[in-house]
Amino acid sequence: MKVPSLALLALIAATHSFAAAPRPAPAPPVIGATSFYVIDSKTGHELATLEPDKRVAPASLTKLMTAYVVFNALQAREIRLEDEVTISEKAWRTPGSRMFIEVGKQVSVQNLLLGMIVQSGNDASVALAEYVAGSESVFADIMNQYAQTLGLHSSHFVNATGLTDDEQYSTARDLSMLARAIIEEFPDYYRWYSIKEFTFNDIKQPNRNNLLWRDASVDGMKTGHTDAAGYCLIASAERDGMRIISVVLGTASSRARIDGSQALINYGFRFFETHLLYKAGEKITTTRIWKSANEYTSLGVLEDLYITVPRGTYDALESVLNIPAVIVAPVAQGQPLAELKVSLNGDDLVLEPLRALDDNPDGSFWQRTRDGVSLLFE
Protein backbone atom coordinates (compact mmCIF):
# COMPACT_ATOMS: atom_id res chain seq x y z
CA MET A 1 0.00 0.00 0.00
CA LYS A 2 1.13 3.57 -0.63
CA VAL A 3 1.98 5.96 2.20
CA PRO A 4 -1.16 8.10 2.77
CA SER A 5 -1.09 11.72 1.60
CA LEU A 6 -1.08 14.66 4.03
CA ALA A 7 -4.87 14.99 3.94
CA LEU A 8 -6.21 17.08 6.80
CA LEU A 9 -8.27 15.41 9.51
CA ALA A 10 -11.02 17.57 10.97
CA LEU A 11 -11.34 16.78 14.66
CA ILE A 12 -14.17 18.41 16.55
CA ALA A 13 -12.57 19.58 19.82
CA ALA A 14 -15.60 21.15 21.48
CA THR A 15 -19.13 22.12 20.54
CA HIS A 16 -21.53 23.98 22.82
CA SER A 17 -25.02 25.33 22.25
CA PHE A 18 -27.64 27.34 24.08
CA ALA A 19 -31.23 26.33 24.51
CA ALA A 20 -32.12 29.84 23.39
CA ALA A 21 -29.88 31.88 21.10
CA PRO A 22 -28.43 34.96 22.82
CA ARG A 23 -29.39 38.37 21.54
CA PRO A 24 -26.91 39.99 19.13
CA ALA A 25 -25.18 43.15 20.27
CA PRO A 26 -27.17 46.28 19.39
CA ALA A 27 -25.77 49.00 17.16
CA PRO A 28 -23.24 51.30 18.88
CA PRO A 29 -24.36 54.70 20.16
CA VAL A 30 -24.58 57.61 17.77
CA ILE A 31 -22.07 60.32 18.64
CA GLY A 32 -21.16 63.52 16.82
CA ALA A 33 -17.79 62.44 15.42
CA THR A 34 -16.15 62.33 12.01
CA SER A 35 -15.04 58.77 12.71
CA PHE A 36 -14.48 56.39 15.58
CA TYR A 37 -13.07 52.94 16.18
CA VAL A 38 -13.37 50.80 19.31
CA ILE A 39 -11.42 47.56 19.86
CA ASP A 40 -10.52 45.07 22.53
CA SER A 41 -6.87 45.66 23.35
CA LYS A 42 -5.88 42.00 23.84
CA THR A 43 -7.45 40.63 20.66
CA GLY A 44 -7.78 43.66 18.41
CA HIS A 45 -11.42 42.63 17.88
CA GLU A 46 -13.59 45.41 16.47
CA LEU A 47 -16.41 46.43 18.81
CA ALA A 48 -17.77 49.62 17.21
CA THR A 49 -16.88 51.59 14.14
CA LEU A 50 -17.74 54.65 12.05
CA GLU A 51 -15.59 55.38 8.99
CA PRO A 52 -12.45 53.98 10.64
CA ASP A 53 -10.32 54.41 7.50
CA LYS A 54 -11.21 58.03 6.81
CA ARG A 55 -8.02 60.09 6.64
CA VAL A 56 -8.03 62.96 9.09
CA ALA A 57 -5.63 65.42 10.68
CA PRO A 58 -4.44 63.67 13.88
CA ALA A 59 -3.64 66.84 15.89
CA SER A 60 -1.89 66.01 19.18
CA LEU A 61 -2.73 62.32 18.82
CA THR A 62 0.46 62.48 16.75
CA LYS A 63 2.32 62.56 20.05
CA LEU A 64 1.54 58.86 20.51
CA MET A 65 3.87 58.13 17.61
CA THR A 66 6.40 60.61 19.00
CA ALA A 67 6.27 58.74 22.30
CA TYR A 68 6.50 55.36 20.56
CA VAL A 69 9.74 56.39 18.85
CA VAL A 70 11.21 57.74 22.10
CA PHE A 71 10.16 54.60 24.02
CA ASN A 72 11.96 52.48 21.44
CA ALA A 73 15.07 54.62 21.75
CA LEU A 74 14.95 54.14 25.53
CA GLN A 75 14.47 50.39 25.16
CA ALA A 76 17.44 50.20 22.79
CA ARG A 77 19.48 52.23 25.31
CA GLU A 78 20.21 54.89 22.73
CA ILE A 79 19.04 57.44 25.30
CA ARG A 80 18.24 57.35 29.03
CA LEU A 81 15.45 58.88 31.09
CA GLU A 82 17.99 60.84 33.15
CA ASP A 83 19.72 62.35 30.09
CA GLU A 84 19.68 66.16 30.16
CA VAL A 85 18.44 67.77 26.93
CA THR A 86 19.49 71.32 26.02
CA ILE A 87 16.40 73.16 24.78
CA SER A 88 16.76 74.73 21.34
CA GLU A 89 15.19 77.99 20.26
CA LYS A 90 13.03 76.07 17.78
CA ALA A 91 11.59 73.90 20.54
CA TRP A 92 11.04 76.93 22.75
CA ARG A 93 9.27 78.86 19.99
CA THR A 94 6.99 76.00 18.88
CA PRO A 95 3.41 77.31 19.03
CA GLY A 96 0.45 75.65 20.69
CA SER A 97 0.23 73.77 23.98
CA ARG A 98 3.44 73.74 25.99
CA MET A 99 5.12 72.67 29.22
CA PHE A 100 7.00 76.02 29.38
CA ILE A 101 10.59 74.90 28.94
CA GLU A 102 13.13 77.67 28.39
CA VAL A 103 15.65 78.04 25.60
CA GLY A 104 19.18 77.05 26.59
CA LYS A 105 18.07 75.27 29.78
CA GLN A 106 18.55 71.54 30.32
CA VAL A 107 15.58 69.27 30.97
CA SER A 108 15.64 65.51 31.53
CA VAL A 109 14.17 63.12 28.99
CA GLN A 110 11.74 61.90 31.64
CA ASN A 111 10.42 65.39 32.36
CA LEU A 112 10.09 66.07 28.64
CA LEU A 113 8.10 62.86 28.23
CA LEU A 114 5.83 63.80 31.13
CA GLY A 115 5.42 67.29 29.68
CA MET A 116 4.43 65.80 26.34
CA ILE A 117 2.17 63.04 27.72
CA VAL A 118 0.39 64.93 30.52
CA GLN A 119 0.52 68.52 29.32
CA SER A 120 0.63 67.78 25.58
CA GLY A 121 3.61 70.10 25.28
CA ASN A 122 4.56 70.88 21.69
CA ASP A 123 7.81 72.35 22.97
CA ALA A 124 8.62 69.09 24.75
CA SER A 125 7.79 67.07 21.63
CA VAL A 126 10.22 69.03 19.47
CA ALA A 127 12.94 68.89 22.13
CA LEU A 128 12.60 65.09 22.29
CA ALA A 129 12.60 64.77 18.51
CA GLU A 130 15.78 66.84 18.22
CA TYR A 131 17.49 64.85 20.96
CA VAL A 132 16.64 61.46 19.48
CA ALA A 133 17.24 62.24 15.80
CA GLY A 134 19.17 65.51 15.60
CA SER A 135 16.31 67.34 13.90
CA GLU A 136 12.53 67.16 13.79
CA SER A 137 12.50 66.33 10.08
CA VAL A 138 14.75 63.30 10.54
CA PHE A 139 12.64 62.28 13.53
CA ALA A 140 9.55 62.41 11.28
CA ASP A 141 11.27 59.98 8.91
CA ILE A 142 11.76 57.60 11.84
CA MET A 143 8.09 58.04 12.78
CA ASN A 144 7.10 56.94 9.30
CA GLN A 145 9.43 53.95 9.43
CA TYR A 146 7.79 52.76 12.62
CA ALA A 147 4.35 53.47 11.14
CA GLN A 148 5.10 51.06 8.30
CA THR A 149 6.48 48.46 10.70
CA LEU A 150 3.28 48.64 12.76
CA GLY A 151 1.11 48.38 9.65
CA LEU A 152 -0.21 51.95 9.83
CA HIS A 153 -0.49 52.16 6.07
CA SER A 154 -2.93 55.10 6.07
CA SER A 155 -0.75 57.36 8.23
CA HIS A 156 2.01 59.84 7.42
CA PHE A 157 3.88 62.19 9.70
CA VAL A 158 5.89 65.35 9.02
CA ASN A 159 6.26 66.69 12.57
CA ALA A 160 6.39 65.47 16.16
CA THR A 161 3.64 67.73 17.52
CA GLY A 162 0.53 67.28 15.41
CA LEU A 163 0.50 70.88 14.20
CA THR A 164 -1.57 70.99 11.04
CA ASP A 165 0.11 70.05 7.78
CA ASP A 166 -1.58 68.75 4.62
CA GLU A 167 0.93 65.89 4.49
CA GLN A 168 0.24 64.76 8.06
CA TYR A 169 -2.71 62.41 8.40
CA SER A 170 -3.92 59.22 10.04
CA THR A 171 -7.10 57.20 10.61
CA ALA A 172 -9.03 55.92 13.61
CA ARG A 173 -8.01 52.36 12.76
CA ASP A 174 -4.30 53.22 12.53
CA LEU A 175 -4.38 55.20 15.75
CA SER A 176 -6.01 52.30 17.60
CA MET A 177 -3.20 50.03 16.41
CA LEU A 178 -0.63 52.55 17.61
CA ALA A 179 -2.28 52.87 21.02
CA ARG A 180 -2.44 49.09 21.33
CA ALA A 181 1.26 48.79 20.49
CA ILE A 182 2.23 51.25 23.24
CA ILE A 183 0.09 49.45 25.80
CA GLU A 184 1.47 46.02 24.88
CA GLU A 185 5.11 46.88 24.28
CA PHE A 186 5.72 49.56 26.92
CA PRO A 187 3.46 48.90 29.95
CA ASP A 188 5.82 50.72 32.33
CA TYR A 189 5.74 53.91 30.26
CA TYR A 190 2.03 53.54 29.49
CA ARG A 191 1.26 54.17 33.18
CA TRP A 192 2.30 57.78 32.68
CA TYR A 193 -0.83 58.36 30.59
CA SER A 194 -2.92 58.06 33.76
CA ILE A 195 -1.15 60.95 35.54
CA LYS A 196 -3.73 63.66 36.17
CA GLU A 197 -1.41 66.65 36.53
CA PHE A 198 2.23 67.58 36.17
CA THR A 199 4.16 70.54 37.55
CA PHE A 200 7.16 71.95 35.74
CA ASN A 201 8.82 75.34 36.15
CA ASP A 202 6.39 76.00 39.04
CA ILE A 203 3.46 75.71 36.62
CA LYS A 204 0.91 72.99 37.38
CA GLN A 205 -1.14 71.78 34.44
CA PRO A 206 -3.88 69.12 34.38
CA ASN A 207 -4.16 66.27 31.94
CA ARG A 208 -6.64 67.25 29.22
CA ASN A 209 -8.21 63.78 29.30
CA ASN A 210 -11.14 64.51 31.62
CA LEU A 211 -12.21 60.87 31.53
CA LEU A 212 -9.43 60.22 34.05
CA TRP A 213 -11.59 62.03 36.63
CA ARG A 214 -14.96 60.77 35.45
CA ASP A 215 -14.30 57.02 35.05
CA ALA A 216 -11.97 55.15 37.41
CA SER A 217 -11.45 52.39 34.83
CA VAL A 218 -9.89 54.85 32.36
CA ASP A 219 -6.09 55.06 32.58
CA GLY A 220 -5.18 56.80 29.31
CA MET A 221 -4.57 57.99 26.74
CA LYS A 222 -4.39 61.24 24.66
CA THR A 223 -6.44 64.24 23.59
CA GLY A 224 -6.00 66.35 20.49
CA HIS A 225 -7.44 69.50 18.98
CA THR A 226 -6.84 71.76 16.01
CA ASP A 227 -9.24 73.61 13.76
CA ALA A 228 -8.61 71.02 11.04
CA ALA A 229 -8.96 67.97 13.30
CA GLY A 230 -11.72 69.07 15.66
CA TYR A 231 -11.70 67.65 19.18
CA CYS A 232 -10.25 64.13 19.39
CA LEU A 233 -9.58 61.57 22.09
CA ILE A 234 -7.97 58.16 22.34
CA ALA A 235 -9.16 56.57 25.57
CA SER A 236 -8.23 53.27 27.17
CA ALA A 237 -10.07 51.58 30.04
CA GLU A 238 -9.82 48.27 31.88
CA ARG A 239 -12.62 46.51 33.75
CA ASP A 240 -12.45 42.97 35.15
CA GLY A 241 -9.37 42.14 33.09
CA MET A 242 -10.81 43.36 29.77
CA ARG A 243 -9.20 46.43 28.19
CA ILE A 244 -10.93 48.58 25.56
CA ILE A 245 -9.34 51.21 23.33
CA SER A 246 -11.63 53.90 21.91
CA VAL A 247 -10.56 56.37 19.20
CA VAL A 248 -12.94 59.30 18.63
CA LEU A 249 -12.06 61.87 15.97
CA GLY A 250 -13.56 65.15 14.81
CA THR A 251 -16.09 66.09 17.47
CA ALA A 252 -17.31 69.66 17.92
CA SER A 253 -16.18 70.28 21.51
CA SER A 254 -14.09 68.92 24.35
CA ARG A 255 -17.32 67.87 26.10
CA ALA A 256 -18.49 66.00 22.99
CA ARG A 257 -15.27 63.98 22.73
CA ILE A 258 -15.51 63.02 26.42
CA ASP A 259 -19.21 62.11 26.32
CA GLY A 260 -18.82 60.22 23.05
CA SER A 261 -15.81 58.27 24.27
CA GLN A 262 -17.56 57.39 27.53
CA ALA A 263 -20.61 56.12 25.65
CA LEU A 264 -18.49 53.93 23.37
CA ILE A 265 -16.43 52.52 26.24
CA ASN A 266 -19.57 51.67 28.21
CA TYR A 267 -21.06 50.06 25.09
CA GLY A 268 -17.99 47.89 24.60
CA PHE A 269 -17.94 46.62 28.17
CA ARG A 270 -21.72 46.11 28.30
CA PHE A 271 -22.12 44.07 25.14
CA PHE A 272 -18.80 42.22 24.67
CA GLU A 273 -16.55 39.98 26.74
CA THR A 274 -13.01 38.68 26.31
CA HIS A 275 -11.85 35.27 27.46
CA LEU A 276 -8.54 33.46 27.66
CA LEU A 277 -8.92 30.37 25.47
CA TYR A 278 -5.53 28.79 26.07
CA LYS A 279 -2.42 29.73 27.99
CA ALA A 280 0.99 29.85 26.37
CA GLY A 281 2.56 26.39 26.51
CA GLU A 282 -0.67 24.68 27.59
CA LYS A 283 -1.27 21.28 25.96
CA ILE A 284 -4.35 21.51 23.75
CA THR A 285 -4.02 18.09 22.15
CA THR A 286 -1.42 15.51 21.13
CA THR A 287 -0.56 14.03 17.77
CA ARG A 288 1.49 11.11 16.50
CA ILE A 289 4.96 11.85 15.12
CA TRP A 290 6.14 9.03 12.90
CA LYS A 291 9.77 7.90 12.82
CA SER A 292 10.51 10.03 15.91
CA ALA A 293 12.28 9.28 19.16
CA ASN A 294 9.01 10.48 20.75
CA GLU A 295 5.90 8.67 19.60
CA TYR A 296 3.61 11.60 20.45
CA THR A 297 4.05 15.34 20.86
CA SER A 298 1.93 17.96 22.61
CA LEU A 299 0.40 20.76 20.55
CA GLY A 300 -0.37 24.24 21.86
CA VAL A 301 0.18 27.96 21.37
CA LEU A 302 3.30 29.91 22.25
CA GLU A 303 1.45 33.03 23.48
CA ASP A 304 -1.75 33.40 25.50
CA LEU A 305 -4.70 33.12 23.12
CA TYR A 306 -7.72 35.35 23.82
CA ILE A 307 -11.06 35.71 22.07
CA THR A 308 -13.65 38.52 22.14
CA VAL A 309 -17.33 37.66 21.60
CA PRO A 310 -20.72 39.29 22.14
CA ARG A 311 -21.61 38.97 25.80
CA GLY A 312 -23.43 35.73 26.59
CA THR A 313 -22.25 33.81 23.51
CA TYR A 314 -19.07 32.20 24.84
CA ASP A 315 -20.74 28.82 25.46
CA ALA A 316 -21.95 28.77 21.84
CA LEU A 317 -18.40 28.74 20.42
CA GLU A 318 -17.38 25.81 18.26
CA SER A 319 -13.75 24.80 17.84
CA VAL A 320 -12.18 22.51 15.26
CA LEU A 321 -8.63 21.12 15.11
CA ASN A 322 -7.20 20.41 11.67
CA ILE A 323 -4.25 18.01 11.97
CA PRO A 324 -2.38 16.36 9.08
CA ALA A 325 -2.95 12.60 8.86
CA VAL A 326 0.78 11.90 8.83
CA ILE A 327 3.57 13.94 10.44
CA VAL A 328 7.10 12.59 10.11
CA ALA A 329 10.11 13.48 12.26
CA PRO A 330 12.14 15.56 12.72
CA VAL A 331 9.82 18.17 14.22
CA ALA A 332 11.31 21.15 16.07
CA GLN A 333 9.81 22.74 19.16
CA GLY A 334 7.61 25.64 18.02
CA GLN A 335 7.06 24.22 14.54
CA PRO A 336 3.47 24.73 13.31
CA LEU A 337 1.79 21.37 12.77
CA ALA A 338 -1.95 21.98 12.91
CA GLU A 339 -4.62 24.69 12.93
CA LEU A 340 -7.19 25.68 15.52
CA LYS A 341 -10.38 27.25 14.16
CA VAL A 342 -12.91 28.80 16.55
CA SER A 343 -16.23 29.97 15.13
CA LEU A 344 -19.50 31.44 16.32
CA ASN A 345 -22.69 30.86 14.37
CA GLY A 346 -20.64 29.90 11.33
CA ASP A 347 -18.34 32.94 11.44
CA ASP A 348 -14.65 32.19 11.97
CA LEU A 349 -13.26 34.24 14.86
CA VAL A 350 -9.88 32.58 15.41
CA LEU A 351 -7.53 30.81 13.00
CA GLU A 352 -4.42 29.97 14.97
CA PRO A 353 -1.55 27.57 14.19
CA LEU A 354 -0.90 24.91 16.81
CA ARG A 355 2.78 24.25 17.39
CA ALA A 356 4.85 21.40 18.76
CA LEU A 357 5.61 22.06 22.41
CA ASP A 358 8.59 19.65 22.38
CA ASP A 359 11.48 18.73 20.12
CA ASN A 360 10.86 15.53 18.20
CA PRO A 361 14.16 14.34 16.70
CA ASP A 362 14.62 11.38 14.36
CA GLY A 363 14.19 8.07 16.11
CA SER A 364 16.62 5.19 16.12
CA PHE A 365 17.13 2.99 13.08
CA TRP A 366 14.74 0.48 14.60
CA GLN A 367 12.04 3.15 15.27
CA ARG A 368 12.32 4.58 11.76
CA THR A 369 12.15 1.11 10.19
CA ARG A 370 9.21 0.03 12.36
CA ASP A 371 7.19 3.18 11.61
CA GLY A 372 8.06 2.99 7.90
CA VAL A 373 6.57 -0.48 7.75
CA SER A 374 3.54 0.60 9.78
CA LEU A 375 2.86 3.49 7.39
CA LEU A 376 2.72 1.07 4.48
CA PHE A 377 -0.34 -0.55 6.04
CA GLU A 378 -1.83 2.59 7.63
Supply the CATH number for residue 180's domain: 3.40.710.10
**Residue 22: what pLDDT?**
65
The reply to whether the predicted model has a pTM over 0.75 is yes
Same domain, 171 and 307: no
343 given a catalytic annotation? no
Same domain, 243 and 306: no
| Strand arrangement of the beta sheet that strand 318-324 belongs to | 8-15, 318-324, 336-344, 347-356, 296-300, 285-288
Percent of the chain with pLDDT over 70: 94
Catalytic one among 35, 60, 97, 155? 60
**Residue 366: what pLDDT?**
85
25 within a domain of the structure (yes/no): no
CATH number at residue 317: 2.60.410.10
374 given a catalytic annotation? no
Same domain, 189 and 303: no
CA separation, residue 336 to residues 153, 279, 314 (Å): 29, 17, 26
Same domain, 69 and 144: yes
Same domain, 210 and 247: yes
Give residue 20's identity as a one-letter amino acid code.
A
63 given a catalytic annotation? yes
**Residue 374: what pLDDT?**
82
Same domain, 113 and 231: yes
154 within a domain of the structure (yes/no): yes
pLDDT in tens, 21-45: 567 789 999 999 999 999 999 999 9
302 within a domain of the structure (yes/no): yes
Q: Is 148 exposed, middle or buried (0-12, 13-18, 19+ CB in 10 A)?
A: exposed
User: 125 CB contacts (<8 Å, ≥6 apart)?
Assistant: 63, 66, 94, 116, 160, 161
**Residue 21: what pLDDT?**
59
Among candidate residues 189, 217, 251, the one where a domain is terminated? 251
**Residue 7: what pLDDT?**
33
261 within a domain of the structure (yes/no): no
222 within a domain of the structure (yes/no): yes
pLDDT in tens, 288-307: 998 999 999 999 999 999 99
Angle, nearest 10°, between helix axes 62-75 and 172-185?
A: 30
Same domain, 167 and 193: yes
39 within a domain of the structure (yes/no): yes
Structural domain harbouring 369: 8-19+277-376
Number of domains in the chain: 2
Plot region of 333 (φ>0 → left; ψ -120 to 50 → alpha; else → beta): beta
Residue ranges for the chain with pLDDT beneath 50? 1-20
Same domain, 45 and 136: yes
46, 36 Cβ separation under 8 angstroms: no
Catalytic one among 35, 41, 42, 63? 63
258 within a domain of the structure (yes/no): no
Q: Give the integer Cα–Cα distance in Å for 112 and 221.
A: 17
Same domain, 244 and 285: no
Please provide residue 190's backbone torsions phi and psi, each rounded to the nearest 5 degrees: -60, -30
196 within a domain of the structure (yes/no): yes
